[in-house]
């Protein structure tokens, strides 16, 4: 009876030990699974952080490109405004030159008329050469007209100088417009290269 009791106790202890071993193995397997899940979660979190950093870098690069595009657009608008200003200046210079040309034409017509009047006066003086009093008057009128013609000749010279200055201004405006056109072309090529790079 004592032997059976001892055997039963040993079997019970063996069963208890096996149950404890199975429980320990089960717990160890659960711990391994939990550790694997934690490692997987950490890997996923690291991948998410790396993706977020990459997206932030891309966002910063896009912001830099947008800033560069805005600056390029500002330079292009500045070149366009400069070209428009040069065109306006050139048109004003052309209008001024046309006005001066008209003034010169009027002055030339007046000079021609004065020349004809002087010829008539000279003819009248020749015809009235025998009459002293009338001759004196004609001489006085001739002197007066000569002074007027001299003043008008001076005016014509001034108008011709003004016309030359207007022509010089027009040439300068044309050179400025050409320079602006070159700048505009360069800006357009730069914009095209930027668009191609983008």
pLDDT of residue 83: 85
b (16+ CB within 10 A) / e for 114-153: beeeeeebeeebeeeeeeeeeeeebeeeeeeeeeebeeee
- Kindly compute the dihedral angle of the four CA atoms of residues 117, 122, 125, 126, in this order, to the nearest 10 degrees: -140
* Overall residue count recorded for the chain in this entry: 198
Q: Give me the sign of the Cα torsion angle 158, 160, 166, 171.
A: negative
The confidence score (pLDDT) of residue 153 equals 82
Digits of tens for pLDDT over the chain (198 positions)?
Answer: 778 888 888 888 889 999 999 999 999 999 999 999 999 999 999 999 999 999 999 999 999 999 998 898 888 888 888 888 888 898 988 888 888 888 888 888 888 888 888 888 888 778 877 777 766 876 888 788 878 888 888 888 888 888 888 889 888 888 888 888 898 888 888 888 888 887
Residue 194's pLDDT is: 84
Predicted pLDDT of residue 197: 83
| 32 SS3 class | helix
Q: What is the pLDDT of residue 109?
A: 86
Is the pTM here over 0.75, yes or no?
no
Angle at CA of residue 31, ends 25 and 35, nearest 5°: 145
- Please report the pLDDT score of residue 157 as a whole number: 83
pLDDT of residue 21: 92
Amino acid 111: pLDDT:
87
User: What is the per-residue pLDDT for 124?
Assistant: 78
């Amino acid at each position: 009876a004592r032997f059976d009791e001892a055997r039963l106790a040993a079997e019970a202890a063996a069963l208890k030990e096996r149950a404890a071993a199975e429980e320990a193995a089960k717990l160890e397997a659960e711990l391994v699974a939990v550790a694997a899940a934690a490692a997987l979660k950490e890997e996923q979190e690291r991948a998410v952080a790396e993706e977020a950093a990459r997206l932030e870098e891309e966002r910063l690069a896009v912001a830099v490109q947008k800033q560069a595009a805005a600056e390029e657009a500002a330079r292009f608008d500045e070149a366009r405004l400069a070209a428009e200003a040069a065109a306006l200046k050139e048109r004003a210079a052309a209008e001024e030159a046309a006005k001066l040309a008209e003034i010169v034409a009027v002055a030339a017509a007046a000079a021609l008329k004065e020349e004809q009047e002087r010829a008539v006066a000279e003819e009248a003086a020749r015809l009235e050469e025998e009459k002293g009093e009338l001759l004196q008057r004609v001489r006085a009128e001739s002197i007066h007209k000569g002074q007027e013609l001299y003043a008008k000749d001076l005016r014509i010279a001034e108008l011709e100088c003004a016309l030359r200055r207007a022509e010089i201004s027009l040439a300068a405006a044309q050179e400025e417009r050409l320079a602006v056109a070159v700048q505009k072309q360069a800006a357009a090529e730069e914009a095209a290269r930027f668009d191609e790079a983008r």
